[in-house]
């Protein structure tokens, strides 16, 4: 009487095996930049924090560009990378800007409220995107979160034109405005997928790094 051969159950890959994936390494490099941004925000070294925030966006865009050009990645590789990207996004574009706002506002209670609203909007927007994806396959619903960092880094260039209290109000209003756009129904194009936009971001990142690096040396 014959017996069917029982195939051994395939074991899932180890957790750390995904670290060697180059796109995931880029994502983790962006997370490292975000941690530096948070660290320097708490210390009040805001120029260094701005550099960390803009480089986090750069690495975020790079991971997707590299992933699309790599061959041999499995469905699990792509799924893992997508989950990792979303989890890092909430830290880079939600937690980091929120801590920056609280720190610049001297951790006054009113800034705690603003930080919560920014972080909540980020979490809601990412959850919505995880469920519904791109509208029509080409556009985001609501302002994509990476724009938050790019815009805040640009706004901070004008800090020296205002006294500290007035500029704290400007940052507060800007943060709430971005949060409102994040959860709005506006449709915005996906910028990170085009090579020309990646080049523009690279130029912007290097320019911002040069400006804030120079300010740090003064």
Report if residue 7 sits inside a domain: no
Report if residue 15 sits inside a domain: no
Report if residue 164 sits inside a domain: yes
What are the Cα distances from residue 155, in Å, to 65, 72, 108, 148, 160? 27, 41, 21, 11, 11
Residues paired with residue 99 on neighbouring β-strands, in sequence order: none
Token look-up 């061959």 returns 71
pLDDT digits (tens, 9 = 90+) for 70-98: 776 777 878 888 889 999 999 999 999 99
CATH number of the domain at 116, please.
Answer: 1.20.120.1760
Report if residue 3 sits inside a domain: no
**HEC-encoded secondary structure of 38-74:** HHHHHHCCHHHHHHHHHHHHHHHHHHHHHHHHCCCCC
pLDDT digits (tens, 9 = 90+) for 164-208: 999 999 999 999 999 999 999 999 888 876 778 888 999 999 999
Residue ranges making up the domain that contains 164:
20-217
Q: Please count the structural domains in the chain.
A: 1
pLDDT of 2 over the 90 cut: no
Q: What angle do CA 180, 185, 187 make, to 5 degrees?
A: 110
d(C-alpha 90, C-alpha 123), whole Å: 6
Report if residue 14 sits inside a domain: no
Which pTM does this prediction carry?
Answer: 0.89
């Amino acid at each position: 009487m014959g017996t069917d051969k029982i195939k051994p159950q395939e074991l899932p890959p180890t957790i750390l095996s995904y670290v060697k994936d180059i796109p995931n390494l880029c994502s983790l490099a962006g997370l490292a930049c975000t941690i530096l941004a948070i660290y320097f925000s708490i210390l009040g070294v805001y120029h260094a924090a701005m550099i960390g925030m803009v480089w986090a966006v750069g690495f975020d865009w790079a991971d997707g560009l590299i992933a699309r050009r790599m061959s041999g990645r499995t469905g699990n590789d792509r799924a893992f990378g997508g989950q990792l990207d979303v989890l890092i996004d909430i830290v880079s574009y939600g937690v980091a800007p929120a801590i920056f706002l609280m720190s610049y506002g001297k951790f006054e209670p009113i800034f705690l409220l603003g930080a919560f609203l920014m972080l909540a909007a980020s979490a809601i927007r990412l959850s919505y995107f995880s469920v519904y994806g791109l509208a029509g396959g080409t556009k985001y619903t609501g302002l994509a979160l990476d724009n938050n960092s790019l815009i805040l880094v640009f706004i901070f260039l004008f800090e020296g034109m205002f006294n500290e209290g007035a500029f704290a109000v400007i940052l507060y209003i800007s943060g709430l405005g971005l949060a409102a756009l994040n959860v709005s129904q506006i449709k915005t194009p996906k910028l990170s997928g085009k090579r020309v936009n990646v080049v523009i971001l690279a130029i912007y990142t290097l320019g911002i790094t040069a400006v804030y690096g120079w300010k740090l040396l003064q």
